[in-house]
Amino acid sequence: MLKIDNLHASVEDKTILQGINLEVKAGEVHAIMGPNGSGKSTLASVIAGKEEYEVTKGNIEFNGEDIDELAAEERAHKGVFLSFQYPVEIPGVSVTNFMKTAINETRKAKGLEDMPAKDMLKLIREKSELLEIDRKFLSRSLNEGFSGGEKKRNEIFQMAMLEPKLAILDETDSGLDIDALRIVANGVNKLKSKDNAVVVITHYQRLLDHIVPDFVHVLYNGKIVKSGTKELAHELEEKGYDWIKEEVNA
Contact 144, 89 (CB under 8 A): yes
30 in contact with ligand ADP (CB under 6 A): no
Binding mask 99-138 for Mg ion (x = CB under 5 A): ----------------------------------------
Nearer to Mg ion, 68 or 114 (CB): 68
d(CA 239, CA 250): 18
Residue 104 CB partners (closer than 8 Å, separation 6+): 114, 115
Reading phi first (left if > 0) and then psi (alpha if -120 to 50, else beta), residue 137 is in alpha
Which one, of 239, 228, 76, lies nearest residue 165 by Cα?
76
Give all strands (DSSP E) within the chain, no chain letters.
2-11, 14-24, 29-33, 53-62, 65-66, 80-82, 90-94, 141-142, 166-171, 197-202, 215-220, 223-228
Which one among 4, 7, 30, 34 touches ligand ADP, defined by CB under 6 A? 34
Q: Binding to ligand ADP (CB under 6 A): which residues in 151-210?
A: 172
Nearer to ligand ADP, 161 or 218 (CB): 218
90 in contact with ligand ADP (CB under 6 A): no
Which one among 6, 147, 172, 189 touches Mg ion, defined by CB under 5 A? 172
18 in contact with ligand ADP (CB under 6 A): no
Nearer to ligand ADP, 52 or 89 (CB): 52
Nearer to ligand ADP, 173 or 179 (CB): 173
221 in contact with ligand ADP (CB under 6 A): no
